């Protein structure tokens, strides 16, 4: 049974995971509203405060007016219009800093009080390092849109999302370890289901990363039909680029097709996994986690299709991003629960 201290630490980690969940969705909204390049400098320590007077606003707006996005796309933008995109990017960066504090301060307190053993300390430090790396990777991504082309690299965007999602999953796993410690080696059936659940989590993760390439190339704004892509199962342009492998990362038609195919594979795999688990002797929590994973997968595919058909409205696209993280979280819960018993 978990101790009271374990429960407190787990509650803290679950709270931080919820904050990371919100951060991922906010990052998606920032991308969808084309706000991510509005702040052209990065001050990791001193960037807490926004512009506080007109002179400060003129300074940050002047920096933006020297950027490729302003010069090539938004050259008629006024200061008032600029503020609308500034605040979203500022909120995204500020929330990242708040998450860092919300993780670091309690970690130090718990370690100082002797509540945390060596193994957990190493895991917590690792999570904190990953969080710092995520901030640096976010700036590395933004830098790609401040040079010549007024858009961030889809490769860096995918890496940024992948690390954020990995941090979310790791936080959940460590927290679940504290409240659901391993009690015995699992039966053969449960071990098989555990491997299946972990494979499903991996598939969801790959599908999320493919979605980042869709977002990075604005590929959701084309081929807005389903299940066919403008009347074809395979778009004519699917392998138009050379060398061939480049199509999977830079060709809008191929990237969108891959994401569709992966999404349908996730749905089919989740349905198969749910059916496979039906006769297994599982406890109530394990069954709930598997049922939740299946339900979220269905909703997520529906959100993705609706987002595509309606040409990526921001609220629906943000829900789709949230659904992807929720699906991963449900899968992690199922995999962890099956591995404990």
Domain parsing of the chain, residue ranges: 1-181, 185-341
User: Residue 296 has what pLDDT?
Assistant: 98
Which band of pLDDT confidence, cut at 50, 70 and 90, is reported for residue 341?
Answer: low
**Which residue has better confidence, 46 or 206?**
206
Which band of pLDDT confidence, cut at 50, 70 and 90, is reported for residue 6?
Answer: very high
pLDDT exceeds 70 at position 186: no
User: Residue 248 has what pLDDT?
Assistant: 96
User: Residue 185 has what pLDDT?
Assistant: 44
Buried b / exposed e along 177-187 (16+ C-beta atoms within 10 A): bbebeeeeebe
CA distance 274 to 266: 12
The predicted model scores a pTM of 0.94
Which band of pLDDT confidence, cut at 50, 70 and 90, is reported for residue 115?
Answer: very high
Buried b / exposed e along 13-24 (16+ C-beta atoms within 10 A): bbebbebbbebb
User: Residue 183 has what pLDDT?
Assistant: 55
Residue reference for tokens 């010069």: 71
Q: Range with the lowest mean pLDDT among 92-106, 115-129, 146-160, 180-194?
A: 180-194
pLDDT exceeds 70 at position 189: no
């Amino acid at each position: 049974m978990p101790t009271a201290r374990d429960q407190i630490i787990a509650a803290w980690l679950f709270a931080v995971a919820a904050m990371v969940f919100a951060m991922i969705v906010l990052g998606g909204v920032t991308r969808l509203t084309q706000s991510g390049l509005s702040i052209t400098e990065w001050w990791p320590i001193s960037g807490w405060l926004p512009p506080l007077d007109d002179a400060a606003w003129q300074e940050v707006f002047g920096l933006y007016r020297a950027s490729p996005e302003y010069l090539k796309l938004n050259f008629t933008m006024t200061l008032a219009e600029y503020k609308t995109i500034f605040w979203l990017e500022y909120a995204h960066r500020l929330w990242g800093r708040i998450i860092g504090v919300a993780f670091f301060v309690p970690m130090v307190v718990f370690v100082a009080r002797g509540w945390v053993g060596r193994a957990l300390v190493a895991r917590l430090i690792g999570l904190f390092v990953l969080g710092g790396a995520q901030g640096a990777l976010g700036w590395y991504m933004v830098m790609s849109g401040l040079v010549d082309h007024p858009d961030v690299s889809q490769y860096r965007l995918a890496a940024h999302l992948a690390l954020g999602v990995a941090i979310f999953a790791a936080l959940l796993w460590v927290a679940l370890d504290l409240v659901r410690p391993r009690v015995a080696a699992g039966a053969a059936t449960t071990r098989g289901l555990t491997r299946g659940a972990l494979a499903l989590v991996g598939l969801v993760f790959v599908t999320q990363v493919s979605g980042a390439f869709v977002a990075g190339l604005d590929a959701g704004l084309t081929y807005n039909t389903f299940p066919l892509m403008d009347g074809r199962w395979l778009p004519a342009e699917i392998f138009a680029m050379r060398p061939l492998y480049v199509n999977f990362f830079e060709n809008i038609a191929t990237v969108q097709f891959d994401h569709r195919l992966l999404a349908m594979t996730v749905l089919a795999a989740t349905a198969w996994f749910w059916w496979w688990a039906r006769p297994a002797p599982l406890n109530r929590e394990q069954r709930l986690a598997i049922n939740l994973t299946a339900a979220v997968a269905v909703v997520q595919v529906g959100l993705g299709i609706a987002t595509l058909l309606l040409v990526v409205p921001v609220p629906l696209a943000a829900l789709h991003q949230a659904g992807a993280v929720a699906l991963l979280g449900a899968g992690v819960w199922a995999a962890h629960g099956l591995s404990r018993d």
